[in-house]
Every structure is written in C-alpha cells, then in structure tokens.
Chain A
Amino acid sequence: MSRIAGVFAGLKTQGRAALIPFVEAYDPNRETSLALLRGMAENGADIIEIGMPFTDPMADGPTIQAAGRRGLLAGASLHGVLGLVEEFRRTNNHTPLVLMGYLNPILSYGVEKFCADAARLGVDGLIVVDLPTEEADLLLPDAGKNGLDVIRLVAPTTSDARLPLVLEGSSGFVYYVSITGITGTRTASAADLARDIPRIRAATSLPIAVGFGVRTPEQAAVVAQHADAAIVASALIETLQRENVDAVLRDVKALSAGVRGARQKAA
C-alpha cells in the first residue's frame, strides 16, 4: 500500500478526515520550508503538499503567485525541491508528500528522470495543474512505473459524463477544486459541498480532498464533514508572510483540531 493509501485507510478506521497543509518550496528560503515541513508533520498534518515554484502559475491567485516568486528568487528549482524532500525524509518516513506544480519544469527535467528521482527521494504523489486527462499519457506511464500517485483535479465544471474520463489512471486521492476560480479567492459553502461531493463519490472509490478557498478551522471542519481531506494553502502562506513559522504551525494545529472535531457524514 502506498503511503497515501495507508494514511487514508488509517483515518477511515478513526472516522475522520485528513488535513493537508501546503508549503510553497523556498518561500522565502529553503530553511523555512524545511522547518515548516517538519513542524507541520508534528502539528497535525496528515499529508503535506509542496508547491513547486513556476514563473507562470496560471491557476493560482495573488498569494501563491507571490510565494512562488519569492521561492524562485531564493533559488528554487526542481532539483532543489527534491533535495528538500530528501532532507525531510531523513527524519520522517511516514508523512506522505505530494508535489504540486506545473508541467514545464518537469518536462525540462525530463519526465522519466523526474519520476524516478522523485520516487527514490521520497515523494508520494504528483499534482500537475496544467496536465488534464487529455494530455496525461505524458506522465502516467513513468509515474506508474515508479509507484507515484497521480492525483487529478476535478472541478465544478467537470460534468458527470466527464468524471470517469478525468479519474482514469488517477490514484492516491481526488483533488476537488471546490470553486470555479483561482487559488485563495472564494470559498465553497457547506451547501455547495453537500451538492458536489456525492456526485464525485458516485464516480470513484478514492478519497476526496477539497482545496481552493479553505482558510479557517471552521471551514476545514465543514469540509471534513463532507469530504476526506481539507487542503489549506493561501491562508498559511499569508500567515507566514505576516508572522513566522511558529504562527503557521499554530494555525496548522487549529486547522487539525477543526478537522478532528468534525464528525464525518457517511463516507
């Protein structure tokens, strides 16, 4: 069983959802990212998502755009991100790590080599925002060969008829982009989730994570009632900007409490 599948299997027996916080690599430097990864794992993160900075993050709002720019200024590269994973794995072998980013740096690295290196250094899954199912044959064979989960985005615009196509070849979990928009802007309501999550459940047995616009412990708790994981990114990046690593870990702890306190509706 993959690390990601293992985490969700364990949580199922506990009857709770997962918290997946996000770290933009090298924002504002490598040491901070490493401290965040280690601290998050100790403060309630079930899985951690690492953003791979890219010059043109088309699906991201101003907060993640700025974080990516700071990361690039601090010297982030795909090699650097993998190095960060390698170092994290020296002291943590259980928290799944998912890399999220855009296709071009991966193409530039070489898809085959990237998948092999990522898996070897301790990455568990990949989310490539600008790689829709129509183009996924570019990545799926190498990811599969190396045991990397390819996590697919499902959007409110994804029709029921399209869902099976989108989920083809996906594993780990499904990432539900709960709003039509970019990261860090709007927030989906409980009513939205009650409407949307069941139609995805009907199409897959994979766990469903909800991201884009989840900011507070209360919102994370709402997500946890309907879905299997809450992903929080922009709010944590803003806390880091405004305050410091400790403040982010305080927020992660609170988000985790929100998720843990929520009773899951029949999954």
Chain B
Amino acid sequence: MTTVLPNTLRNGPDGRGRFGEFGGRFVAETLMPLILELEAAYEAAKADPSFQAELDYYLKHYVGRPSALWHAERLSRELGGAKIYFKRDELNHTGAHKINNCLGQILLAKRMGKTRIIAETGAGQHGVATATVCALFGLPCTVYMGAVDVERQKPNVFRMKLLGAEVVPVSSGAGTLKDAMNDAMRDWVANVQDTFYIIGTAAGPHPYPAMVRDFQCVIGEEAKAQMLEAEGRLPDVAVAAIGGGSNAIGLFHPFLDDTSVRLIGVEAAGHGLDSNEHAASLSRGRPGVLHGNRTYLLQDDDGQILEAHSISAGLDYPGIGPEHSWLHDIGRVEYVAATDKEALAAFQLCTRTEGIIPALEPSHALAHVTKIAPKMSKDEIILMNLCGRGDKDIFSVAKHLGVEL
C-alpha cells in the first residue's frame, strides 16, 4: 500500500522560487527582469493546453517517447537479489534525457519571440540536445563548454558543430561545467533582448529548477504507469545519478508522495569522498549561493567554490539543484555516492549482461544498484534511470582501461 501524504511534497517551489531555504533568484539586476519575464511566460505556457499538446507531439514523434521500461533479467540474476528495471531514456533521440527539457524550453523560447539560443554543457549531451532542437527549429545556437570537457568529449563537440552550433571552449577556472555556466550567464547578460538561455539541469535561478523538473517529470510519470502495468505495483526503490539533478528529479518527483518508494540519488565520488577529488555536493558540501540559487556547494572555508572531479563530465559540477538540497534536508531522498572505479565496473557489467552501453553518468546509479540489489529479496523491485547511452564515453573508458583505440 502506498500512503499519500496529506501535505504533498510536490507543490514547491514557493512564490520566491524556494524549496524550503533553497533555490531563489540570486542574479545581477540586469538579468532579474528577464528572469521575471521568463517566469511569467512559463506560467502562461503551463496553463495553455496547446503548449503541452505541442510538446507531447514532439516528445512522441521526434524524441520517440515513451521510452521503454526494461526488465534487466540477466543483470538481476547476476546480482542475485532484487528485480531490476531500467527506465530507458538512453533510447531517446540524441541518446539522453536532456532532449526532454530542451524541447520544452525551445518551445517556450519561440512563444516568447526569442531568436537566439545559448546553453552550457558538460558531457556535451545537453549541448547536443540543444543544438539538435535549434537545428529542428532553425535558430542560431551557441554552446559554452569547458575547455577540458571539449577535450574529453570530442565526439559530442563534433556533433554539435555538425548540427550548426557554435561551440565556445571556456578556459576560465578548471575549464569544466561550472565555468561554462558562468560564461553562458555572461553571454545572456550581454544579449538580453533576443537570447534565450536553455539551462541543462534543474538548477539556476527560479524558475529554471522548477521548469526543468517539470519537463523531465515525463520520465517518472511514464515509469510509474509502466511499472504498474508490468508489476501491478510501484517499485521499492528508485535510483538515479546526480549531476545537477535533472534526470533524478524527473524520475523522483512523481514518486515523492508515494512513501513506500525509497528514493536514492547517486552523486559522483570521483577518487573517493575523502580524496578532495569528487563531485558530491550533498555528501561533502554545505549550503551557499552559486549560479542563481541557494543550494549545497563544494566550497572552502572562505566560501570560494571548489572544483569538482568526476570521470563523468556530466556529473562534474560542484553544486546541485535546490530541490534536491531540500529533499536531502527533509530526508525524503537518500543521497549516496559512487566512485570513478565503481562506475567503470558498472559500465562494463551493464554492457556485458544487458547488451546496453550506458553513459558514465547512469553508470554511477548502476554502481549503487550493484551494492544494494544483492541484499534485497527477489520479489523486491529496483527502478533505475538509465538516462544516457555510452557511445560518447567509449574513448575515455578505453583510456581508463588502458586500451589504445
């Protein structure tokens, strides 16, 4: 039996864009009027059935939704415990969940009459998804990407360029996702009239965390219905990897009020949580303000932001979406971490047992599944978000395995 809390956990954020004490709108005054305009436009779109209908059309015919729910039988047998299901968002057009959000935002940009799109990207999946929808709708696209990530995600850089996007390598800071986001914001401040900034994760100033979550909730809503159809009940555990937190919140949110479902977010532990080289903002960070929102951050004693580290460029971010910070503090979602090594092992296990090459990001979620599944009984169910495919990662995986391509 699932009990629905009388007081739903699903109606955040409040009028100030806050989830508890997290979230908000910490941007320079130049951007504030734009953020307010965006919020009003999004609220109007949400209330307009034709907007959702248009989005549904593209999700079905362009992205290929609903994505399958796959019973990973061999993997389940190999781990010898719980029954494991994959929500296969890696089957989406462009190979990850990122496109769900990009379509929502570009349809909104069109409604607002914006004629130029910018985005930040880490792994390049969000950049590719943004470049893709820009090609689809004929809008010019500029993608900011850390110089280090440009190097380790070359296939995606080439993809973006093929799709007609301009890719700007960002060499400030450590040259990763955080720095790309800084430069995207700087571009936005300088081009306020015509430019729409498509943020790729459930973070940033309000209304982004709520808006990105709403666009990603299709994952959890589909999975819930598919689970009921396949098993006649909800899963016992739902697991997702956390970079900024968009695929995870998309999976978790529709289950927040179903208290029987344990929700587990997996951060990147990099070389280990005690190594200072990780991206585990909830496990090892503390609350602060970056990129427009108050949330858990990796920072030093002076409040300077620390560089994150992960084998996965998509998880290499020192912050996390504010709704996760709140869900962490109220204890509704458990947040754990998986190391580079554990993710690499899970990557190979999935490939061998299921014939699915996962992205390194969901490999972190899978790494945690391999830890808990053996301790669970055979009639218990784990639902994992397989939010991206690993084609983009084969070069860096080869390098880590010492294989010359």
Contact = CB atoms under 8 A, between A and B. Distances in A.
Given A107-B303, A135-B26, A65 B172 contact: yes
Contacts, number: 118
A91 interface: no
A128 to B, nearest CB: 9
Contacts of B25: 132, 134-135
Given A104-B289, A134-B16, A55 B304 contact: yes
Interface string A95-108: 00000001111111
A132 B29 contact: yes
Given A61-B186, A104-B297, A130 B26 contact: yes
Contact of A58 (B182, B297, B301, B302): B182
B178 interface: yes
Interface size grouping (class) on chain A: 35 or more
Interface in B151-186: 172-173, 178, 182, 185-186
A133 B29 CA distance: 8
A261 B283 CA distance: 58
Contact of B303 (A58, A65, A78, A162): A78
B305 A155 contact: no
A108 B292 CA distance: 16
A7 B315 CA distance: 50
A108 B189 CA distance: 26
A34 interface: no
A25 interface: no
B190 A181 contact: yes
Interface in B294-309: 297, 299, 301-305
Given A58-B186, A180-B190, A103 B302 contact: no
B185 A58 contact: yes
B20 interface: no
B192 A130 contact: no
A106 B304 CA distance: 10
B29 A155 contact: yes
A129 interface: yes
A159 interface: yes
Nearest to A66: B172
Contact of B28 (A54, A69, A132): A132
Contacts of B190: 180-182, 185
B93 interface: no
Given A105-B304, A185-B190, A154 B182 contact: no
Contacts of B304: 54-55, 72, 104-105
B30 interface: yes
By Cβ-Cβ distance, the 3 closest A-B pairs, closest first, are A108-B303, A105-B303, A155-B30
30 contacts: A54-B303, A54-B304, A56-B290, A58-B27, A58-B185, A60-B186, A65-B172, A104-B289, A107-B287, A107-B288, A107-B289, A109-B302, A130-B26, A130-B289, A132-B29, A133-B29, A134-B16, A135-B24, A153-B28, A153-B29, A153-B30, A157-B31, A157-B34, A158-B33, A162-B33, A166-B29, A180-B193, A182-B189, A182-B190, A185-B190
